[in-house]
Structure 1
Amino acid sequence: MKYISRTVWTLSLISLFTDMASEMLYPIMPIYLKSIGFSIVLIGILEGVAEATAGLSKGYFGKRSDDLGKRAPFVQIGYTLSAISKPMLAFFVYPLWIFLTRTLDRFGKGIRTGARDAILSKEATTKTKGKVFGLHRSMDTLGAVLGPSLALWYLYYYPQDYVTLFYIAFFPGVCAVLISLLLKDKNVNITGEKKWSPFFSFLSYWKTSPLIYRKVVIGLLAFTLINSSDVFLLLKAKQAGLNDSAVIGVYIFYNLVYALFSFPIGAMADRIGLRKMFVIGLSLFAIVYFGMGLITNTYGLASLFFLYGIYAATNEGISKAWISNITDKKETATAIGMYAGFQSICTMIASSLAGLIWYAFGANTAFIITGLATILVILYFLIFIESKPSNRLLSTPNL
């Protein structure tokens, strides 16, 4: 794998350890918050505020990374904030401090995302973007397998000892920070002034961005508006009769499939085209959601989670590779940061809509409506998006 540079491996290991820390806490976070007095409504508000913070900051700090011509400091600061937030969630139990700490974690994600993805883009050519982003997603998702597995193992021996897990999660976070110190900025062209710009200044990029970028992002965000949280899939599994351990097991299984398929799917996308692979993924997504609306037996659900893992491998890494191929290399962090920012906000809206439909019409209706809407998004990509980016953008050298 000569096209995978040391920098790509470094970023992939950083993401592995960070996701291990975050996903170790993901299954027990709602339980822990309820144990210290948070209501379901307050938990929802907490997650909403945290995700909104991450979303908006992705766009801003992506633009700052481009303007300042720096990547490594944004990555290092972002991962550091996320690491130190883990033990703070156990140390501070008052609602206001929990809000601030959880927001700090997501703020760290916002700071690092655009700069990190710009580094990945720079380490690849247009013909290897799928492989590079695919490997990164694979390692990132491997952390989502190891984290919950460690949490299950620990809770088997120490039931309900949630607080200790927050302290344990600090250690893989520290490993990620230490590895991030290996990153060094290469020559990055500065596109703007070094003075601080307004927080929403990144929005101006929409007017100056290539037309193909706007068309692709509109399609991606339209899909995000119907792609609700994975929590709804887990709730469906629970509703179908799986116990708590089996639900967490299904979540681990899905992430394992995601991790195993991300790199080979990225490599395949480089051969057949990123748009084609993304549309294949949307088709799998539609099949899964139609299936969730119709199937209730355990084996059927396991098959759907297997397909969902393959779909996931065609989604985030492929979409970011696609965006980096259709935008100027000097504005990669801004382009990805803007998309990732609006993606976070659209995800919140999608989960709210899915919850309302579930409540009003039932789970099966929610899944089937999502499947039908996905077909419309597939048609949009097939009809309105050309299969190849312009020659100007394809000429980006391997830096």
Structure 2
Amino acid sequence: MNDHAAASPGRAGLPRGIWALGFVSMLMDISSEMIHALLPAYLVVLGASTLAIGLIEGIAEATAAIVKVFSGALSDWLGRRKLLAAIGYGLAACTKPVFPLATTLGWVVAARFIDRIGKGIRGAPRDALIADLAPPGLRGAAFGLRQSLDTAGAFIGPLLAIGLMALSGNDFRLVFWVAVLPAFGAFALIVLAVHDPQPAAALRRPRSPLSRRELARLPPAYWWVVGIAAVFTLARFSEAFLVLRAQALGLGLMWVPAVLVLMNVVYSLSSYPVGRLADRLPRGALLAAGLAVLVAADLVIALFDGLSGLAVGVVLWGLHMGMTQGLLAALVADAAPTELRGTAFGVFNLVGGVALLVASVLAGALWDGFGARATFLAGAGLAGLALAGLLWRGRWAR
């Protein structure tokens, strides 16, 4: 496929390259979540302690967040984003066969670590490439579509893992081998169906994107997006606390994964419609609405003790994710100069990763010290703070 074909309109007026990137994300997420859904239990089988599992996951995710900064800056310096995105997906695909072949804990940890490095390499260049490919009037739809397909993979993967475990009599390695297929499908799709757009002749290529001089070129509107997103992330913490709340309310262990499946179904179904809406309505207003939904989700989960109240809270949680995640990416694309988009997404992702880590630690401390209700009430307060900041900057939001 040539560059013209990759940029030609697909369904809903979006370039075919964006649809391809959406399905690349979905296939890789199916593969990763099939493994990730079972990995903690598999690590225990191989002899890992609960503390070790927490450290492995924390270090892996922190590594991905740090790598995103440098890969985004490198994509600006090279002027080529697809190359780095393809390397990231290829690296992740190559780690997948290690999981079924591994016989020791060390091999699994190494594969998990390299897989997250691959995620870090591809993240910022891929988002910058979406911004490059999307027509300015369709950026909301483009990021919403990518997020919608990616999140579909986040619930399809665990459902496949559950089904295969049931059919195979809990054969971990069989599930891990099946997960290899969509991973290499994602790599093949990005290599064959995605291409960098032709750069503008006058586009400046920064020599040192992470220098103070270049970072100073990112406008105040961009830093407001980063700041609002950081406070917002502090308010929402890890979805693991939804699972803990479900267990505390008496949901059977067999049905606990259904909490995240429900959340991701709502997240996936809402992301693309909200993205299309964001191309017609003020994005700041939609983001404010998403923050208001998060406040409602936290309050419902905190104040209602039954499983029906939890289900309503989980649906609202998924809805707020669908209303905000693709929208924040579109706002970054709007605010950042074209030649610094990779760097802008890298910094945005790093700040978000650090905020999520801090939020999860604080949520855990609140949970241990004061209980679940205090944790979610604190989340509602922080979400309200982010909403107040956004409304205070209402003129910028428009």
What secondary structure is seen at the aligned counterpart in 2 of 1:285? helix
CA distance in 2, matches of 1:388, 1:382: 8
Residues 22 and 150, structure 2, Cα contact 8 Å, conserved in 1 = yes
Residues 269 and 276, structure 1, Cα contact 8 Å, conserved in 2 = no
1:312 paired residue among 321, 324, 327:
321
Identity of aligned residues (%): 32
Matched, 1:85 2:73: no
CA distance in 2, matches of 1:59, 1:203: 14
Q: Which residue of 2 aligns with 1:156?
A: 166
Q: Which residue of 1 aligns with 2:198?
A: 187
What 5-or-longer segments of structure 1 have no aligned partner?
Answer: 390-399
CA shift in 2, pair 1:286/1:388, >3 Å:
closer
Using the size of structure 2 for normalisation, the TM-score is: 0.92
CA distance in 1, matches of 2:265, 2:69: 30
CA distance in 1, matches of 2:191, 2:70: 23
What 5-or-longer segments of structure 2 have no aligned partner?
Answer: 1-10
CA distance in 2, matches of 1:360, 1:146: 36
CA deviations on 1:194-228 (whole Å, 9 max, x unpaired) are xxx6xx93676443310111122111112222321
1:344 paired residue among 333, 340, 353:
353
What secondary structure is seen at the aligned counterpart in 1 of 2:113? helix
What secondary structure is seen at the aligned counterpart in 1 of 2:305? coil
Matches for 1:125-144 after TM superposition, within 5 Å: 125-144=135-154
CA distance in 2, matches of 1:344, 1:388: 23
2:85 paired residue among 75, 82, 94:
75
The RMSD of aligned alpha carbons is: 1.8
Counterpart AA for 2:205: T
CA distance in 2, matches of 1:204, 1:148: 45
What secondary structure is seen at the aligned counterpart in 1 of 2:276? helix
2:305 paired residue among 296, 302, 327:
296
What is the CA distance between 1:160 and its match in structure 2? 2.9
2:156 paired residue among 123, 130, 146:
146
Residues 234 and 382, structure 2, Cα contact 8 Å, conserved in 1 = no
1:27 paired residue among 18, 37, 44:
37
What secondary structure is seen at the aligned counterpart in 1 of 2:292? helix
CA deviations on 1:347-378 (whole Å, 9 max, x unpaired) are 11111111111111111111111111111111
Q: Which residue of 2 aligns with 1:66?
A: 76
CA deviations on 1:263-291 (whole Å, 9 max, x unpaired) are 11111122222211111111111111111
Counterpart AA for 1:216: V
Q: Which residue of 1 aligns with 2:274?
A: 265
Residues 231 and 382, structure 2, Cα contact 8 Å, conserved in 1 = no
Q: Which residue of 1 aligns with 2:6?
A: none
Matched, 1:355 2:364: yes
Residues 53 and 106, structure 1, Cα contact 8 Å, conserved in 2 = yes
Residues 29 and 157, structure 2, Cα contact 8 Å, conserved in 1 = yes
Residues 225 and 328, structure 2, Cα contact 8 Å, conserved in 1 = no
CA distance in 1, matches of 2:23, 2:56: 29
CA distance in 2, matches of 1:202, 1:279: 33
The more displaced of 9-18 and 183-192 is 183-192
CA distance in 1, matches of 2:73, 2:59: 22
Matches for 1:164-313 after TM superposition, within 5 Å: 164-182=174-192, 183-188=194-199, 189=203, 191-193=205-207, 201=210, 205-313=214-322
Counterpart AA for 2:322: A
User: How many residues are matched?
Assistant: 384
Residues 285 and 397, structure 2, Cα contact 8 Å, conserved in 1 = no
CA shift in 2, pair 1:386/1:336, >3 Å:
farther
What is the CA distance between 1:2 and its match in structure 2? 4.3
CA distance in 2, matches of 1:202, 1:310: 38
What secondary structure is seen at the aligned counterpart in 1 of 2:290? helix
Q: Which residue of 1 aligns with 2:331?
A: 322
Residues 273 and 387, structure 1, Cα contact 8 Å, conserved in 2 = no
CA deviations on 1:131-172 (whole Å, 9 max, x unpaired) are 111111111111112111111111222343223222211110
Q: Which residue of 2 aligns with 1:18?
A: 28
Counterpart AA for 1:86: K
Residues 222 and 332, structure 2, Cα contact 8 Å, conserved in 1 = yes
CA shift in 2, pair 1:159/1:229, >3 Å:
farther
The more displaced of 114-123 and 8-17 is 114-123
CA distance in 1, matches of 2:336, 2:394: 15
Residues 221 and 396, structure 2, Cα contact 8 Å, conserved in 1 = no
CA distance in 2, matches of 1:173, 1:347: 26
